[in-house]
Amino acid sequence: MSAQLIDGKQIAQSIKNNLKGRISALKEKGITPGLAAVLVGDNPASQTYVNSKVKACEKLGLFSKVIKRPANIDQYELIQIINELNNNDKIHGILVQSPLPSDIDELTITLNIKPEKDVDGFHPYNVGIMLLGRGGLLPCTPHGIMKLLEYSNIDPSGKEVVIVGRSNIVGKPIAAMLLQKAKNANATITVVHSRSQNIPEITKRADILIAAIGQPEFIKGGMVKDGVVIIDVGINRIEAPETNKGYRLVGDVEFDSCFEKASYITPVPGGVGPMTIAMLMENTVKAAELISSSL
């Protein structure tokens, strides 16, 4: 058996194309959805992510604004920036790019973003709405995974889903989403993590395996059963002297060995990554719709 690739780029483009009508409807009312990204420090990966988000906004005709500040910014000044964006009618979505300097508390920063502008879906209000199954602004990467499954006609209902990783950004929210009593959910969930024992025995049970542990090629072919659906969230750099860049990108799944056993698998890059940005665009448009409807 060899797997069918789940093309995240193609699905992400379909989602962005579907946003165009909603964006046009807002513009007819004089509203251009606006996204503000706050970038602290000079982390190269963060700069790349923010640039990708800005380009996505430009292609869809959204307004975007990037605010760059040095790594020695203090927390109070960062909160002041967020307050200004909260009160800026041109901005419907605010994201503060992680990671932040160690002396800044990320939760405090998140709490200062208005929930209706929290397009990352990290504010406790939005997390609570998600847990209740009431929609709201959902975290982008988990929501992107849900869309990958939906667009690929993979129904999680009644399936055993094993999630490797328990982060607040991916592991916990995707578990909550797949657990819902709702269409394209209703799964049986197992979460494994750094303290779990007998991980290969658990991952072999998975009908759907979601790898989000941040360890290069952690999941090997011998850890999964035939016919498994594999969603690889990881993006890791490993040394590759034979390449021009001196490195290559790999996921949390050892692709070649798992490809031979899976029925469906996401590539890295080109799988989950494009979906995260597509869902950020979705959240920005949705935030603009919700804010404008409440005026």
Task: Check 16, 117, 118, 120 and give the catalytic one.
Answer: 120
13 annotated active-site: no
114 annotated active-site: no
Task: Give 133: exposed, middle or buried? Use CB within 10 Å, 0-12, 13-18, 19+.
Answer: middle
89 annotated active-site: no
Task: Check 53, 117, 147, 172 and give the catalytic one.
Answer: 53
3-state secondary structure the chain: CCCEECCHHHHHHHHHHHHHHHHHHHHHCCCCCEEEEEEECCCHHHHHHHHHHHHHHHHHCCEEEEEEECCCCCHHHHHHHHHHHHCCCCCCEEEECCCCCCCCCHHHHHHCCCHHHECCCCCHHHHHHHHCCCCCCCCHHHHHHHHHHHHCCCCCCCCEEEEECCCCCCHHHHHHHHHCCCCCCCCEEEEECCCCCCHHHHHCCCCEEEECCCCCCCECHHHCCCCCEEEECCCEEEECCCCCCCEEEECCECHHHHHCCCCEECCCCCCHHHHHHHHHHHHHHHHHHHHHHCC
Is-contact 23 285, C-beta < 8 A? Answer: yes
How many CB atoms are located within 10 Å of the residue 172 CB? 19
Task: Check 97, 147, 172, 207 and give the catalytic one.
Answer: 97
Active site residues: 53, 97, 120
